[in-house]
Amino acid sequence: MGILSGNPKDEPMHYGEIFSVWTASTVAKGAVSCYQAYLNHAGDKELKKILDALIDQAKLEIKELDTLLTDNGITPTPAMPERPPVKLEDIPVGARFSDPEIAAIIAADASLGLVACSQAMGQSIREDIGALFAKYHLTKSALGLKILQLSKEKGWLIPPPLQVKRPEHN
pLDDT digits (tens, 9 = 90+) for 59-115: 999 999 999 999 999 999 999 999 999 999 999 999 999 999 999 999 999 999 999
Check if CATH label 2.70.98.60 holds for domain 14-154.
no
pLDDT digits (tens, 9 = 90+) for 97-112: 999 999 999 999 999 9
Distance, in Å, from the CA atom of 64 to the CA atom of 153, rounded to the nearest integer, reads: 34
Measured between alpha carbons, how far is residue 116 from residues 69, 77, 91 in Å? Answer: 18, 18, 33
User: Among 118, 142, 116, 131, which residue's Cα sits nearest to residue 57?
Assistant: 142
pTM of the model: 0.90
User: Among 36, 134, 13, which residue's Cα sits nearest to residue 85?
Assistant: 36
- Mean pLDDT, rounded, of the chain: 94
CB 117 within 8 A of CB 134: yes
Amino acid residing at 124? S
